[in-house]
């Protein structure tokens, strides 16, 4: 069997993400999928910054379970955008475009 590479290659999850996903290793694509499945199941999307969950929109409302994962995020993208979620509180929102930074911050 060919070795999995790139986004399909399993990566080791940090403790909070491993707890969230229920496993210690997953490909990045599967981590993102599990986060989105949870967000959609819990109806944690909103159309406005720090808005109330309304099950649609580009912002994700942090609940207690997501908060543990989001708080590990402090990174600068290749384009220079800073994503620092270390002080995020329950009910705050993140832009869905920050999900890649969240995934990266939670893998080793």
Is residue 81 assigned to a domain?
A: yes
Residue-wise pLDDT tens digits, 84-101: 999 999 999 999 999 999
Tell me the average pLDDT across 21-34. Answer: 96
CA torsion angle 82 104 96 88 (round to 10): -60
Q: What is the mean pLDDT of residues 16-28?
A: 97
Share of the chain above pLDDT 90, in %: 75
* Phi, psi dihedral angles at 81 (to 5 degrees): -80, 130
3-state secondary structure the chain: CCCCCHHHCEEEECHHHHHHHCCCEEEHHHHHHHHHHHHHHCCCEECCCCCCCCCCCCEEECCHHHHHHHCCCEEECCCCCEEECCCCCCCCEEEHHHHHHHHHHCEC
Residue 38 located in a structural domain = yes
**pLDDT tens digit string along 43-62?**
999 999 988 888 889 999 99
- Mean pLDDT throughout 19-23? 97
59 is a domain residue: yes
The number of distinct structural domains making up the chain is 1
CATH classification at residue 97: 1.10.245.10
Q: What is the pLDDT of residue 24?
A: 97
CA distance linking residue 13 with residue 20, whole number of Å: 10
Which phi and psi angles does 107 have, rounded to 5°? Answer: -125, 155
- Tell me the residue range of the domain where 73 lies: 10-105
Residue 67 falls inside a structural domain: yes
Residue 1 has pLDDT above 70, yes or no: no
């Amino acid at each position: 069997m060919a070795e999995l590479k790139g986004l399909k290659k399993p990566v080791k999850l940090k403790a909070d993400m491993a707890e969230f996903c229920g496993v210690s290793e997953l490909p990045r694509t599967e981590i993102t999928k599990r986060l989105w499945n949870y967000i959609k199941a819990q109806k944690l999307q909103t159309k406005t910054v720090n808005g109330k969950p309304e099950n649609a929109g580009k912002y994700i409302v942090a609940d207690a379970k997501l908060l543990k994962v989001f708080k590990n995020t402090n990174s600068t993208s290749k384009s220079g955008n800073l994503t620092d979620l270390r002080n995020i509180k329950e009910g705050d929102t993140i832009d869905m475009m920050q999900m890649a930074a969240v995934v990266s911050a939670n893998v080793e």
